[in-house]
Structure 1
Amino acid sequence: MTAVKVAAIQMCSGVDPVRNAADMARLVRDAAAHGATYIQTPEMTGMLQRDRKAAREVLRGEADDVIVSTARDLAKELGVFLHIGSTAIARDDGKIANRAFLFSPDGATVCSYDKIHMFDVDLDNGESWRESSAYEPGNEARVADLGFGRLGFAICYDVRFPQLFRAEALAGAEILTVPAAFTRQTGEAHWEILLRARAIENGTFLIAAAQGGTHEDGRETFGHSMIVDPWGKVLAMAGGTGEEVLIAEIDLDQVRAARQKIPNLKNVREFSVAIVPDRGDGEEAA
């Protein structure tokens, strides 16, 4: 079987992990009722909270996290692969992990993935973000075998680093993932084109569940959760605000077909970069 139904869940998570877990469960049940066997939630499913002190007061380790326990139970109850796009997990060293989880239909943890690239940036609208001040970045890409296909992991800002997706595709990933909480400003400029580019250049499906709307902590996220095919065609897209459940049927034979027609993964070559010195006379070197 190469065709499967997948779902991307758009949320507008608040500051209360328990309430967010209940919202997640309701939306996951909806996706499963529509036949999805792989379901993805957005980045920071468990909580979006600007106040770092307030966030730390409710953060828990993986063993005690309400999103983790709720997701594990849901995956087993519904018999689905449930991919928590990410949630904040308290580490023993006092820092936080922006961590994704994949649970199998029997409720087992298939794997986790810690966001590798930290969003440290000053935007021209006055917003400033320093993820690295609180979060410990991951250092390992992950590709998981779901039986019907292989899934590569990424989170939000990772989408701007194509080498991560290329490495996962070369490792056999047929579905790439970008759960996110993209800011409205950067989302309007780059969200769709980046997702479609990552799918096209790797000949993969891409699933990106997003946060969307104005959150309790005041931030605005772009929404527009998407499911994209290996040719860059958008199979499903959510609106810019509020909850939504996207469903699409994907056929992994399309991955093999796309890679056969455009075999760039096979044609890749190693190369060096030479810096040509400026001669100072306005002419190129011979």
Structure 2
Amino acid sequence: MAQRASACASTMPEPQYPFWLGGLAASAAASFTHPLDLTKVRMQIMPLLPSGRRPTMFSTIRWTVRKFGWASTYTGISACLMRQMTYSLIRIGSYETIKRRITQGQDPKNPTRLILSAAVAGALGGIAGNPADIVLVRMTTDSLRKPENQYRYRHGFDGLMRLVREERIIGLTRGLGPNTIRAILMNSSQLASYDYIKALIIRRHGLKDGIGLHIISSTFAGAVATTVSSPVDVIRSRIMSKSDPRPFLEVLRKMLRQDGVRSLFKGWTPAFVRLAPNTVLMFVFLEQLKRMWTVRI
């Protein structure tokens, strides 16, 4: 009887939530973790610090604060929020919709279906968020350029309008290939692994569905997502910032030739330090928003 009830529960459709909840949760999380995202991008772009040493997470933060002050760690926050309300809104919202359609009448926690749903949603999010991503990368790395090469975007929308005006519509597609690949890898490793790990912990350890479970599941999901998406993330940042405007494969060959495989994981530490709490906060906010919406209706 218990097994039959469990089987019925596993095939019951999940409640439907507003499409925009994921974007709101991701924006709230990014508001806390933006300084680490800025540090990660600067590490990926910056070949050496002014001292001649290779940048580490702490040396990059020290250099940023010493030169520009603590407030500068939130440089580009407007572009960051614009990115979350395009990229994350689409990738999370469409993931729930696609997952519901693909798993209809099937096991909703089947890993293959979860990964497929997340990959398709990630591609859609990567395309939708590409313009905001370009502006974000440029705003967070502007201080690394010579004054005559700086963009000096006042805020995210100013950057978006100038991008279209100065580089035409084609400018919105800069880095679209690696950005979409990164979004596919990020979504399929983050969202799918979160759903799968959460279901696995509940099934094997009987942990109740609450904040404790959300934190454990999202921490593992953050580690998986950081490792899987790191190589493409590094190349994407270089192309979008124009520090290396060559095609994807040429940038990849140059990095492997000059610095080896380790160059593909530059910024992994701040990426994980940023993505782990970002993933935790995003999923905690998302789960709480879902509960609030369920109570409301």
TM-score of Structure 1 vs Structure 2, range by shorter chain: under 0.3
- TM-score (normalised: structure 1): 0.27
For normalisation by structure 2, the TM-score amounts to 0.26
